[in-house]
Structure 1
Amino acid sequence: MKTQSILILAFIFVIVGGCSNRDDQNIPGNKEKVIVQLDWVPEPEHGGLYQALAKGYFADAGLDVTLLPGGANIAVIESVAVGQADVGQSASTQVITAASRDLPIKNIASVFHQIPTALMLHEDNPIDSFSELDKKTIMARPEALYIPFIKEKYGIDFDVIPQNFGLGMLINDPKFIQEGFYIAEPFFAEKEGVKLKFLRLSEAGYEVYATLFANDNFLESRPEVAAAFVDAFIKGWADYLEGDPTPAHEAIKAARNGEVDDDFLNFSREMIITENLGRGNPKKNETYGSINKSRLANEIKMLEALGAIESGSVSVEEILYE
């Protein structure tokens, strides 16, 4: 398996264009360069990163951070694994799955304590629980690991049509069911006069982090830089959600060339706050950036049970950097 993974990485390296010449990590002003690959186009889910960048928290820590926008066709895991980027944002399950195939990456901090993924339905759709999805059709990413999890947990079956990342079918069909982020898509649906409700994956017991993860070589060769990056990110995340979000929002709007406005950014941020995604639950000893080892162990067991990874192929210590 190790040899196969090395060959896969070599192929990915060619596909993404290889690594840029970064022999000299020091840049003028003695700042260390860190490249971050986002999982999607800039949105409030990246607010902590943009706040830390805009408020100078990264710079104050001696870092020169570049945030690369993501999208449907961006291979975040692979980009970080080959060193095209130092840090990426993804779901913890994806990091675990990749690490089980010997890709050299580790989780370094939580972004959200629960991924804000849900199945979205019209508010007047009679379906109110996952068990009622039996024999229905949903639009989702066919490879999404929550699909076999839901089917097995509730003893149901349903059809999946591939996600197109648009809302047209959901808006126009009152019976349509689609995967989405409940911190984002509802805003755009309501602008079209459609109110949505959600079946949150976390409510089904599918407890998965949204995390920042990093390349092993970056972590091993530049541990002080990695620690400074995480500290500045956490400071930015707390400031974004508890302080004035304007610096991050202005930076996001600039990165999106005006494609999003303050109404959307404020809506999404408020949803993140209301759902307590960033800070987490203090009663569970959760806070900005924290990752619980027991939860990661449970994720590993879940993925093993689903057949997504081989039993014993990865441990908590192999997927979490401390």
Structure 2
Amino acid sequence: MSFLRGQAVKWKRYGVASLIILTSVSVAACGNDENEGATAEADEVNNTEEGSNDSTTEDLIEVEQLTNWYAQAEQGGQFAAHMQGFYEDAGLDMTIQAGGGGVSNTQLVASGQVDFGMGSTDEILMARNDGIPLVAIAGIFQQSPQALMFHEGQDIEEFTDLNGRDVYVSPGAGFFEYMKSEFDLDVNEYSYTGDSTMFMENEEAVSQSYMTSEPFNLANEGVEVDWLLNGESGFEVYGNLLFTTEQMIEEQPEVVQAYVEASIEGWNFYKDNHEEVIPFIQEYNPEMSTEQLEYSAEALQPLVYGYEAEEHGVGYMTEDHWQNLMEILLDLELLNEELDVTEAFTTEFLPEQ
């Protein structure tokens, strides 16, 4: 039984006098067509679970986490932890809320409306730059699945090969500002909207994407693609990292510990058992097909379980990673001043390997 169970702990919600609206340097590039009604469906699932477990959750601590998009395979470890009861075993009464277009995880976590969020290295650094004291507590994706995709057969092997092409990308996206500077790119930029129609019709075009989803969707439309991972350019971010506030860590460290350990247990289960978790994800987002979820669950394997996670475990983060990206953002003038990156992340809650 968890050391949290039975404690009469109440959350002290973190408030900020005023919230600074953050413009994300990256836009989630998947799931636009699959997610009608997904948020409402997720609420129904959570409410049903709460209603059926009243007798067993009285001594659990209520916790709410917000994902970075509608329910999908890229959040599979969180759903696995919920499905398998790992959060409950850790003393937590978990509610998972879906993110999506127009939802700011950083604001909702900073204001205390939710306890934990999902984001990326650059988002945390930019939030801290704006005076919002968020802290990353687990870097789920060692390498972000964000990529620049192009039609299969195009003569593109490295980033310099993008010169002269039409590129669909979010205006001001940090990763592409870095690429243009680093590789001296001269391209025709068009605003990325999530609609791949223009890309599909232009065989020489390039578009931002998630390599865990867009290739599957386009293949179903008869378009085969290849891609360059953004991280291969040097703009490396931890994707789908878990974060909370400094105040939560200071005042409720045992809750943060329980959340991180249960989440990592969920990701370890998900690695070889994602087929079991897929129906549970579909309860939150029934528009997601089994085939799409299976494709994504396989595609994300090296990004979550490879790189340094192979030796140190899921969620591992390093100071060098944070320092390198901080310096890139500083050079791009996306940060006002140098930050102490050791205050932006911690590995103290990760399970020992």
Query: Normalising TM by the smaller chain, what interval?
Result: 0.7 to 0.9
Aligned residues of 2:64 and 2:94 also touching (Cα < 8 A): yes
Partner of residue 263, structure 1:
291
> In the alignment, which residue of structure 1 is the partner of 2:37?
none
For residues 224-303 of structure 1, the aligned pairs below 5 Å read 224-242=254-272, 244-256=273-285, 258-273=286-301, 276-282=302-308, 285-303=311-329
Which residue is equivalent to 2:9? none
Deviation at 1:223, TM superposition (A): 0.8
Give aligned-pair identity as a percent: 27
Task: Provide the secondary structure at the position in 2 that maps to 1:245.
Answer: helix
The corresponding residue for 2:120 is 91
Q: Displacement, 1:76?
A: 1.4
| Distance in 2, Cα, partners of 1:283 & 1:97 | 25
Q: Who is 2:246 aligned against?
A: 216
Partner of 2:51: none
1:282-304 per-position Cα deviation (integer Å, ceiling 9, x unaligned): 59844201111121111111211
Q: Give the letter aligned to residue 228 of structure 1.
A: A
The superposition leaves residues 268-289 of structure 1 with CA deviations (integer Å, 9 ceiling, x where unpaired) of: 111112xx11123259844201
| Contact 2:309–2:316 (8 Å) recurs in 1 | no
Question: What aligned pairs does 1:175-194 form with structure 2 within 5 A after superposition?
Answer: 175-194=204-223
Matching residue of 2:228:
199
Task: Call closer, same or farther: CA 1:292–1:285 in 2, change over 3 Å.
Answer: farther
Q: 1:246 to 1:59 in 2, by over 3 A?
A: farther
Q: Determine the structure 2 residue equivalent to 1:62.
A: 91
Give the whole-Å Cα distance in 2 for the aligned partners of 1:248 and 1:143.
36
CA 1:213–1:143 in structure 2 vs 1: closer, same or farther (change >3 Å)?
Answer: farther
CA distance in 1, matches of 2:145, 2:170: 15
Could you tell me how far apart the structure 2 residues matched to 1:92 and 1:11 are? 17
Counterpart of 2:97, as a letter, is: L
**What secondary structure, in the 3-state scheme, does the structure 1 residue paired with 2:95 have?**
strand
Letter in 2 for 1:291: M
Q: Which runs of 5+ in 1 are unaligned?
A: 1-5, 13-26
Matched residue type, 2:305: R
Superposition deviation, residue 101 in structure 1: 1.4
Q: 1:285 to 1:102 in 2, by over 3 A?
A: farther
Checking the alignment, whether the CA contact within 8 Å between 1:87 and 1:213 is kept in structure 2 is: yes
Task: Say whether 1:9 aligns with 2:35.
Answer: no
For 1:45 and 1:254, locate their aligned partners in 2 and report how far apart those are by CA, in whole Å. Answer: 15
Conservation of the 8 A alpha-carbon contact between 2:155 and 2:161 = no
Give 1:78's aligned amino acid: Q
2:155 aligned residue: 126
Unmatched 5+ residue regions in structure 2? Answer: 1-15, 23-55, 349-353
Separation in structure 1 between the aligned mates of residue 323 and residue 284 of structure 2, nearest angstrom: 37
Q: Partners in 2 of 1:32 and 1:205 — Cα distance?
A: 41
2: CA distance, partners of 1:253 / 1:170: 29
Q: Shift in Å at residue 255 of structure 1?
A: 0.7
CA distance in 2, matches of 1:39, 1:100: 21
- Alignment of structure 1 residues 135-154 onto 2, 5 Å: 135-154=164-183
Q: Note if 1:308 corresponds to 2:334.
A: yes
Count of aligned pairs between the two proteins: 299
Aligned with 2:222: secondary structure?
coil
Q: Deviations over 1:104-160 (max 9, x none)?
A: 211010110011111111102233321122233211121321111101111123233
- 1:214 offset after TM fit, Å? 0.8
Structure 1 pair 247–225 and aligned structure 2 pair: CA distance change class (3 A): farther
- Does the 8 Å contact 1:139/1:178 carry over to 2? yes
Q: Distance in 1 between matches of 2:79 and 2:176?
A: 32
Change (3 A) 1:154 1:286: farther
Q: Which moved more, 1:91-100 or 1:131-140?
A: 131-140
**Local SS of the residue matching 1:179:** strand
Is the 8 Å Cα contact of residues 171 and 192 (structure 1) preserved in structure 2?
A: no
Work out the CA distance in 2 between the residues paired with 1:10 and 1:155. 32
In structure 1, what is the Cα distance between the partners aligned to 2:295 and 2:80?
Answer: 17
Taking the aligned partners of 2:99 and 2:309, their CA distance within structure 1 comes to 34
The RMSD of aligned alpha carbons is: 2.1
Q: Secondary structure at the match of 2:19?
A: helix
Rounded Cα–Cα distance in structure 2 between residues aligned with 1:240 and 1:66:
19
> Mean alpha-carbon deviation: is it higher for 164-173 or for 148-157?
164-173
Q: Distance in 1 between matches of 2:103 and 2:309?
A: 36
Q: Per-residue deviation at 1:181? A: 0.4
